Amino acid sequence: MRRALLGLALLLPAAASCDTGQVTTAAPLRLAGVAVEGAVEGKDGALITLTAAELAFGPLYLCAGTQAGELCETARLEWLESAVVDALDPTPTEVGELVGVTGVVRSWMYDLGLSSQLTQQGPLVLDAAEALGGSSVRLTGQAELAGVTIPFLAAVPIQQEAETEQGVPVVRKSASEDFEHELREERRSTLLVRFDPRPWVAEIDFADLLVEETCSEGGPAKVCAGVLERTCGPDGAVAEERDCAAEGAGCYRGLGCAARVEFAPGSQGFKAVRDQVVSGPRPAFEWSAEDRE
């Protein structure tokens, strides 16, 4: 849908471009993160320190209409590659060029290293996602809460599900967001997309990991009492006890002893990261332009 029609536009002869008032163009694309100073304040007063925040970004499509998605029948500009963004580094890195035709763009949509295709069931895994082990976003750090330090890893693949909108990029500008830029033949435009990773961890419920439980009949097989992991018997009695601290680990609800929390698919932390990357605060799209020589 979106790829094929732009490809045809790029193959048009110069005379056809003149007839429509459009000519082929290219705009350098740069990606950057932000400088994060100090801890991020999360739920229930958790103070979260990010040590790494990597995002698999791309492909990216810019459209003439004010709302992206299925309403964007044609991409005016597109970048079909992918790149890993260090969201903790504010230095812009040029990753390639958006190619297409001149005119006004009013919306954007992009995938996160996993591109949904109409021609296949599973997503196309691009180089950036491969570099992150098949994930779209990979976050490491630690949270301080109630005097406890919780090291964590969140590695989250983000893609369209088969039952949603297959073939449409997963992150899209809404009709209410402001985004407009005119690409002109006589001016060279550059687009910088800047990502802030702080909202991605702000909704993780670290307090839930520290909830203490007791063994009970029909209850969980393992429970935590402070740094003690207790294995529960079928009758609800404590069958075994393990000191996590003696192993340099913590005890976390649903996990037991662990050197760090790794959020599994379906967990609250996993879903919180995904929701914030897809529907939370948007990246900043910053245009600059200069006259061509």
Gap between the Cα atoms of 224 and 13, Å rounded: 69
Residue 238 CB partners (closer than 8 Å, separation 6+): 215, 230, 231, 232
Note whether 140 and 88 are within 8 A (CB): no
Cα 208-213-215 angle, rounded to 5 deg: 150
Residue with token string 């791309």: 58
For the stretch 136-153, pLDDT in tens is: 999 999 999 999 999 999
Residue with token string 């294995």: 231
Q: How far is residue 284 from each of residues 102, 140, 225, 276, 278, measured CA to CA in Å? A: 22, 23, 44, 15, 14
For the stretch 69-81, pLDDT in tens is: 665 667 899 999 9
Cβ atoms < 10 Å from Cβ of 218: 8
Token pair for 241:
């006890």
151 bridge partner residues: 142
Nearest to 127 by CA among 78, 82, 80, 61: 82
Token pair for 193:
């997309």
pLDDT at 16 over 90: no
- Cα 233 to chain center, whole Å? 41
Q: How far is residue 180 from each of residues 103, 175, 186, 225, 246, measured CA to CA in Å? A: 10, 12, 18, 55, 58
Helices (H) and strands (E) in the chain, counts: 5, 23
Gap between the Cα atoms of 150 and 252, Å rounded: 9
Cα 195-180-22 angle, rounded to 5 deg: 120
Mean pLDDT of the chain: 88
* DSSP code string of 96-159: EEEEEESEEE-EEEE-BSEE--TT-SSPEE-HHHHHTTT-SEEEEEEEEETTEEEEEEEEE---
Cα 237-251-153 angle, rounded to 5 deg: 140
Token pair for 102:
């001149």
Residue 35, helix vs strand vs coil:
coil
**What is the mean pLDDT of the segment spanning 84-100?**
98
- Cα 217 to chain center, whole Å? 41
Gap between the Cα atoms of 26 and 29, Å rounded: 9
Residue 20 CB partners (closer than 8 Å, separation 6+): none
For the stretch 164-194, pLDDT in tens is: 566 678 899 987 889 999 999 999 999 999 9
Domain ranges of the chain: 2-204+262-291, 212-252
The residue among 20 and 245 whose pLDDT is bigger is 245
Instruction: State the pLDDT confidence band at 289, using cuts at 50, 70 and 90.
Output: confident
For the stretch 27-67, pLDDT in tens is: 999 999 999 999 999 999 999 999 999 999 999 999 998 87
